Amino acid sequence: MPAFDAEQALPLSLGRMQSLTQDGVSVQLVIPTDAEVQSRFGVSLAEHGIQPIWFRVENTSELSYWLLPIAIDPNYYTVSETALIAGQDLDAEGAARLTENLRQSALPLFMRAGSVNEGYVYATHQRGGRFVDVRLSTRGSGLRMRFAVMLPTQGFDYENSAFRQRYAQVTALPDLTLEQTRARIRELPCCTTREDGQGEGDPLNIVLVGRGEDMVPALTAGGWTFTEAITVDSIRRLIGAALTDEPFLTAPVSALYFFGRPQDIALQRGRSKIAQRNHMRLWLAPFRCEGQPVWVGQVSRDIGVKLTTKSPTLTTHVIDPNVDESRQYVLQSLLHQEAVRWFALVRGTGAATRDQPRYNLTADPYFTDGNRMTIGVSSLPVQPWQVVNLNWNESTDPIREGKGEDARVRQLP
């Protein structure tokens, strides 16, 4: 195994070195730093948009598997392609050495029963973190292992958080039953606040129950990404993207406050324009549910950008007033990735109608049925039709809600 620096591990136990085992197959992966890659291959692959991912696959089972690299990255680079791109400034001898180095270092695709295979998949370069979906296929069956890897960049908000220490202490938090957790969630304040604890910001409308190691991979598998810290550079790029109507998939998210602190982690699902994204802030709650961490969050969909003096970035996103549809989107994201054990709705944010909305800290109106979507995250794949609806409260159809109709959905007996 390459001698990579393991000290860069970041919150959620999602460092660059990770391993999972399933049905006799163990997969270990490392995403080396750009400097480590240059030392290993003698050229910078990052400046050409290439990020090698190192794997070790130990197959102790009686089955042989094919690796599907397209699941790891549908835009991955072949060896010859990587060599041609990265070696364009080398002389013929240097280019030949690079090609052979890349070829000998590549991960084989066929994992024979009882074998151990090591090597790289040459993926597209990503900053801040990436989701790695490892799929192995054989006749009549297959394996899937999901990894979410946070990368040290000195530019993302989670790197500046005290979150690592907080998450390390999660086992010392009070452990509640499911019913006790329901009551505790219902007692939480309705909304986020400013730093001084005053004002009512966006509603706290999402609760996730599960380990970060399960939650983040499932979300990032669905296209959610980590967010950059608010810096002069990220603000400049954010304003530039807003003026040119371009995407900025890791754009910073301003701080809102709950539990007396800014969000522990922020995720977003960007789209083709900076003005359009789903974003979610999450706080680790001071209690557990049946041994699992609890994350209280706020999710909304951004549909525009406006200038404001109320934000340190001098800009803020305009949220879709139908915040119930936004919380539904999180459930859909996790259902689509087969990562939900159960879900339920818990009252707590307070209802507001389309005709009599409430307003957040930047004067954006929103309406809601007043419930919090609460989701039990699964570490193993669960088919959507196998997920348990706890039926704590009636669901609402957010589309009917937006029409001003009676949106309650009564379950069939």
pLDDT, tens only, 66-113: 999 999 998 999 999 999 999 999 999 999 999 999 999 999 999 999
Q: In the beta sheet, which residues pair with residue 28?
A: 19, 56
**Cβ(107)–Cβ(55) below 8 Å:** yes
pLDDT at 226 over 60: yes
pLDDT of residue 15: 56
CA distances (Å), origin 70, targets 67, 77, 78, 132, 325: 9, 10, 11, 11, 32
Higher pLDDT, 157 or 332: 332
Summarize pLDDT for 105-140 with one digit per residue, the tens: 999 999 999 999 999 999 998 876 678 889 999 998
**Is the four-CA dihedral 217, 223, 228, 230 of positive or negative sign?**
negative
pLDDT of residue 242: 60
Average pLDDT, the chain: 84
Which residue ranges make up each domain of the chain? 6-150, 162-409
pLDDT of residue 115: 96
pLDDT at 157 over 50: yes
pLDDT at 181 over 50: yes
Backbone angles phi, psi at 72, to 5 degrees: -65, -45
Looking at residue 203, what DSSP letter applies?
B
Sheet holding 17-22, edge to edge: 17-22, 25-30, 50-59, 116-124
Alpha-carbon distance 134 to 140, whole Å?
18
Burial class of 22 by CB neighbour count within 10 A (0 to 12, 13 to 18, 19+): middle
* 312 — pLDDT class (breaks 50, 70, 90): low
pLDDT of residue 257: 93
Block residue for tokens 């400049």: 236
Buried b (16+ CB within 10 A) or exposed e, 399-412: eebbeeeebeeeee
Summarize pLDDT for 229-277 with one digit per residue, the tens: 565 565 666 666 665 666 565 666 678 999 999 988 888 886 656 555 6
pLDDT of residue 117: 96
Summarize pLDDT for 337-394 with one digit per residue, the tens: 899 999 999 999 999 999 999 999 888 999 999 999 999 999 888 999 999 999 998 7
**Cβ(209)–Cβ(291) below 8 Å:** no
To the nearest 10°, report the CA torsion of 376, 378, 383, 384. 20
CA distances (Å), origin 363, targets 136, 141, 305: 49, 53, 13
Say whether domain 6-150 belongs to CATH 2.60.40. Answer: yes
pLDDT of residue 3: 45
At CA 291, angle to CA 289 and CA 296, rounded to 5? 40
pLDDT of residue 401: 83
What H or E segment, with its residue span, contains residue 165?
helix 163-168
pLDDT at 151 over 80: no
Alpha-carbon distance 332 to 384, whole Å?
9
Closest CA to 257 of 330, 199, 170: 199
Q: In the beta sheet, which residues pair with residue 302?
A: 277, 319
Alpha-carbon distance 131 to 316, whole Å?
28
How many other C-beta atoms can be found within 10 angstroms of the C-beta atom of residue 233? Answer: 11
Block residue for tokens 């109709």: 405
